[in-house]
């Protein structure tokens, strides 16, 4: 038995003394167990200990939802408390409400001790993760030549969390607007984890047609359906010992969500048409840019139970416009990377361009910043990027007429083609399917002048 001083404290809130005794017996080896049976006695168990673990029977003092008041009171006293709500059999509404008010997870009676132990272990890991201190880094390596960058407080604390999450197998849900770096975060976690030598498998759930998604994800056996003429491993299986990145998880059809949930619960997978289940070791990271991911009602993007499984830890990436001077730090990083990758000369932004970058809203976030800088690198004169080169007023939309929108679209297309061809006009013309003279003509009409050093 561990020394009680170093053991994590667990408060059991349960008014059935027999059940409490049983639980204490099952958990006493791993936790220092305190007992309570009411709101007052629960609050009395809280002391200076940070993030206490609490196993809370939701039906106390003769009311099936008395636990909700206890959740409110405990979290008001200590926001970091990890509460596991225990509901009467199939009382889904109370469980949902408990989670909404901030409970860590829920289980229903009759209690399965193994499930309770695994939920408690998870809560314990999370608690350790949250309380560790770090000397907030301002970047985290991802690819050999491209770290994730940010000096704002928000991003620095995300980098600390990413490092700590790497040491665990906690499933992570990353939310944030498009282009904020969700995939980069997922790669960073994988890269720092014990799984780094196994595969990182990204799947965009929105990009695979619904009828193919199931067999893509789960694989199939020969004869499972017409055309299945050999066994095929699915993407989940190919992430064995590695990390599966489920991008745009909100786009996954509900029927598949059920199947995925089953896999997450017991880490066993059945290929389509197979009778055998295979045990797998896969860490799941999911991402979405939809803010209304879970909830009740028909139109909720995700089943609530799946949402809680996937979001043992949630990382909310702030939009670029809320990251202070990070846009400039990122811009410098991007220009430096382009110089190394494409052998571009050393470019920098004028102070007017810098001001414009800081005041622009960046609806497309870091990806938009990259695109604009890539294009500006082609069009700028000399080695200074001017405000005009960034064309921050040129986004399509707003009050544009059709003619203006068309011109902006054309310009965008040409600039992107030029960037991809590294300034080579013949090649760029070929990618958009026009002749070189026509391309020059279009450049002139849309007002693109390329840097004289750029290859033409």
Q: Which residue is nearest to Mg ion (CB)?
A: 183
Task: Out of 4, 115, 178, 438, point to the residue binding ligand ATP (CB under 6 A).
Answer: 178
Kindly tell me the number of DSSP H helices and DSSP E strands found in the chain. Answer: 18, 16
CB of 177 to Mg ion, least distance (A): 11
CB of 379 to ligand ATP, least distance (A): 20
8 Å CB contact between 89 and 109: yes
Burial 432-452 (b: 16+ CB within 10 A, else e): eebeeeebeebbeebebebbe
Asked if residue 163 binds ligand ATP (CB under 6 A), the reply is no
Asked if residue 69 binds Mg ion (CB under 5 A), the reply is no
8 Å CB contact between 161 and 132: no
User: 66 or 323: whose CB is closer to Mg ion?
Assistant: 323
**Binding to Mg ion, residues 157-196 (CB under 5 A):** 183
User: 155 or 448: whose CB is closer to ligand ATP?
Assistant: 155
Specify the DSSP class assigned to residue 319: P
User: 52 or 181: whose CB is closer to ligand ATP?
Assistant: 181
| Per-residue CA distances from 344 to 357, 383, 388, 453 (Å) | 21, 10, 20, 9
Q: Which residue is nearest to ligand ATP (CB)?
A: 181
Sketch the per residue contact string, 271 through 290, with ligand ATP: x for CB under 6 A, - otherwise. ------------------x-
CB of 213 to Mg ion, least distance (A): 17
Residue 182 DSSP SS3:
helix
d(CA 338, CA 38): 62
**Which tokens go with 280?**
């797998």
Asked if residue 158 binds ligand ATP (CB under 6 A), the reply is no
User: 142 or 408: whose CB is closer to ligand ATP?
Assistant: 142
d(CA 214, CA 257): 10
User: 104 or 200: whose CB is closer to Mg ion?
Assistant: 200
d(CA 108, CA 222): 39
Contacts made by residues 422-431, CB under 8 angstroms, sequence distance 24+: 422/342, 422/454, 422/455, 423/378, 423/450, 423/451, 423/454, 423/455, 423/456, 424/455, 424/456, 425/450, 425/456
Name which of Mg ion, ligand ATP, none residue 215 binds, using a CB cut-off of 5 to 8 Å depending on partner kind. Answer: none
User: 183 or 386: whose CB is closer to Mg ion?
Assistant: 183
d(CA 418, CA 431): 9
List the beta bridge partners of residue 60.
Answer: 63
**Binding to ligand ATP, residues 301-340 (CB under 6 A):** 330
Q: Pick from 318, 423, 305: which is nearest to 375 by CA?
A: 423
Task: Out of 180, 193, 377, 379, point to the residue binding ligand ATP (CB under 6 A).
Answer: 180
Asked if residue 81 binds ligand ATP (CB under 6 A), the reply is no
Q: Which stretch binds ligand ATP (CB under 6 A): 74-82, 146-154, 216-224, 230-238?
A: 146-154
Q: Which stretch binds ligand ATP (CB under 6 A): 91-99, 125-133, 171-179, 304-312?
A: 171-179
Asked if residue 35 binds Mg ion (CB under 5 A), the reply is no
User: 126 or 203: whose CB is closer to ligand ATP?
Assistant: 203
Total residues at interface with ligand ATP (CB under 6 A): 16
Q: 């809680």: which residue's tokens?
A: 308
**Positions that interact with ligand ATP (CB under 6 A):** 148-150, 176, 178-184, 289, 330, 366-367, 370
């Amino acid at each position: 038995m561990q020394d009680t001083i170093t053991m994590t404290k667990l408060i059991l809130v349960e008014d059935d003394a027999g059940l409490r005794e049983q639980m204490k017996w099952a958990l006493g080896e791993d936790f220092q167990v305190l007992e309570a049976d009411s709101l007052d006695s629960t609050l009395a168990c809280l002391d200076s200990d940070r993030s206490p673990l609490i196993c809370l029977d939701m039906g106390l003092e003769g009311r099936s939802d008395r636990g909700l008041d206890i959740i409110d009171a405990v979290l008001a006293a200590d926001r970091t408390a990890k509460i596991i709500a225990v509901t009467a059999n199939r009382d889904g509404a109370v469980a949902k409400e408990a989670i909404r008010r901030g409970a860590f997870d829920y289980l229903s009676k009759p209690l399965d001790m193994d499930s309770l132990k695994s939920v408690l272990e998870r809560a314990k890991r999370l608690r350790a993760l949250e309380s560790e201190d770090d000397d907030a880094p301002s970047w985290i390596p991802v690819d050999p030549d491209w770290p994730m960058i940010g000096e704002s407080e928000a991003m620095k604390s995300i980098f600390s969390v990413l490092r700590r999450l790497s040491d665990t197998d906690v499933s992570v849900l990353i939310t944030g607007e498009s282009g904020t770096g969700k995939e980069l975060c997922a790669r960073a976690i994988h890269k720092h984890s014990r799984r780094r030598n196994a595969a990182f498998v990204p799947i965009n759930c929105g990009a695979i047609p619904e009828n193919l998604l199931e067999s893509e994800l789960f694989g199939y056996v020969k004869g499972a359906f017409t055309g299945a003429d050999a066994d095929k491993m699915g993407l989940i299986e190919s992430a064995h010992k590695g990390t599966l990145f489920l991008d745009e998880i909100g786009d996954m059809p509900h029927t598949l969500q059920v199947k995925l949930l089953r896999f997450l619960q017991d880490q066993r997978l059945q290929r389509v048409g197979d009778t055998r289940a295979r045990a797998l070791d896969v860490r799941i990271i999911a991402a979405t840019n939809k803010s209304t991911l879970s909830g009740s009602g028909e139109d909720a993007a995700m089943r609530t139970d799946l949402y809680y499984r996937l979001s043992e830890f949630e990382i909310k990436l702030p939009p670029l416009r809320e990251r202070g001077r990070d846009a400039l730090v990122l811009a410098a990083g991007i220009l430096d990377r382009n110089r190394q990758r494409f052998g571009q000369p050393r470019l920098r932004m004028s102070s007017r361009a810098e001001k414009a970058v800081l005041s622009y809203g960046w609806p497309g976030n870091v990806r938009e910043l990259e695109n604009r800088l890539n294009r500006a690198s082609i069009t700028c004169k000399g080695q200074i990027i001017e405000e005009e080169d960034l064309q921050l007023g040129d986004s399509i939309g707003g009050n544009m007429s059709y003619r203006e929108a068309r011109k902006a679209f054309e310009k965008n297309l040409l600039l992107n083609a030029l960037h991809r061809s590294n300034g080579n006009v013949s090649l760029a013309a070929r990618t958009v399917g026009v002749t070189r003279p026509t391309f020059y003509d279009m450049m002139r009409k849309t007002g693109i002048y390329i840097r004289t050093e750029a290859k033409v």
